[in-house]
């Protein structure tokens, strides 16, 4: 990864998080890591309600980092998960622009 680059792929970000933190993350385990993820989701909720753009940027990055962390500990390749579920369109109606009724997921 080029540190001066303005973008990063999801796969590269997951690998970056793994390279930086995997030893600590594995020792903490899935349960402990999940609790950190939930804390960051709460901080994101606060930033969305009352934070400025800079705070939101940081909290979105933190949530993604902790999601990558838990995926690394669980042995899940997030790029593969994303492509399998969403790579050909909405998992409900199978269209690229979702046509599912508003009352249904997604």
Tokens of 17: 């998080």
Instruction: With beta carbons less than 8 A apart as the criterion, state whether 103 and 97 touch.
Output: no
- The helix-helix angle for 10-50 and 53-74 (nearest 10°) equals 140
Residue 104 lies in a domain: no
Determine the pLDDT at residue 3. Answer: 57
Residue 65 lies in a domain: yes
| Conformational region of residue 89, where left means phi above 0, alpha means psi within -120 to 50, and beta covers everything else | left
Q: How many CB atoms lie within 10 A of CB 83?
A: 12
pLDDT tops 90 at residue 105: no
> pLDDT tens, 30-88?
999 999 999 999 999 999 999 999 999 999 999 999 999 999 999 999 999 999 999 99
Residue 89 lies in a domain: no
Range of the domain at 63: 10-75
> pLDDT tens, 8-31?
999 999 999 999 999 999 999 999
Residue 31 lies in a domain: yes
Could you tell me how far CA 25 lies from the centroid of its own chain?
16
CATH number at residue 25: 1.10.287.1080
Determine the pLDDT at residue 27. Answer: 96
Number of domains within the chain: 1
Residue 40 lies in a domain: yes
pLDDT tops 80 at residue 106: no
Residue 55 lies in a domain: yes
């Amino acid at each position: 990864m080029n540190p001066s680059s303005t973008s990063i792929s999801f796969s590269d970000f997951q690998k970056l998080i793994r390279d930086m933190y995997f030893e600590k993350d594995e020792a903490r385990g899935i349960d402990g890591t999940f609790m950190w993820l939930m804390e960051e989701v709460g901080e994101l909720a606060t930033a969305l309600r009352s934070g400025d753009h800079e705070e939101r940027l940081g909290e979105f990055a933190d949530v993604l980092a902790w999601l990558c962390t838990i995926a690394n500990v669980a042995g899940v390749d997030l790029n593969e998960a994303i492509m399998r579920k969403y790579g050909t369109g909405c998992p409900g109606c199978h269209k690229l622009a979702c046509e599912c009724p508003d009352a249904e997921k997604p």
